[in-house]
Amino acid sequence: MDEPEYHGRYVDFAGVDALPRPTAPAGPPVVIGGVSAPARRRAVTNANGWYVFNANRERAREAVDAIRADLDRYERPAELGRLELTITPSGRFDAEAAEYYEGLGIDRLVLLPRADEPGSSRHDPVPADAILRMIDTVATTVIGR
Please calculate the CA angle 131-137-141 and round it to the nearest 5 degrees. 155
Exposure string for 26-42, b = 16+ CB within 10 A, e = fewer: eeeeebbeebeeebbeb
Beta carbons within 8 Å of 108's beta carbon, 6+ residues apart: 84, 85, 86, 87
Q: What is the pTM of this model?
A: 0.74
Read off the pLDDT of residues 4-54 as tens digits, 9 standing for 90 and up: 788 999 999 898 887 777 777 777 899 999 999 999 999 999 999 999 999
The answer as to whether 19 is a domain residue is no
The answer as to whether 15 is a domain residue is no
Q: How far apart are CA 68 and CA 133, in angstroms?
A: 35
The answer as to whether 49 is a domain residue is yes
Stronger pLDDT, 65 or 23, i.e. the higher one: 65
The answer as to whether 43 is a domain residue is yes
- Residue 37: which CATH number? 3.40.50
**Closest listed residue to residue 83, CA positions, set 13, 33, 25:** 33
Q: How many domains does the chain have?
A: 1
Can you point out the beta strands (E) in 22-138?
31-33, 49-55, 84-89, 108-109
Q: How far apart are CA 141 and CA 59, in angstroms?
A: 23
Read off the pLDDT of residues 75-105 as tens digits, 9 standing for 90 and up: 999 999 999 999 999 988 888 998 999 999 9
The answer as to whether 11 is a domain residue is no
The answer as to whether 41 is a domain residue is yes
**Closest listed residue to residue 112, CA positions, set 96, 126, 97, 98:** 126
- Give the range of the structural domain holding residue 82, as residue numbers without chain letter: 26-112+121-143
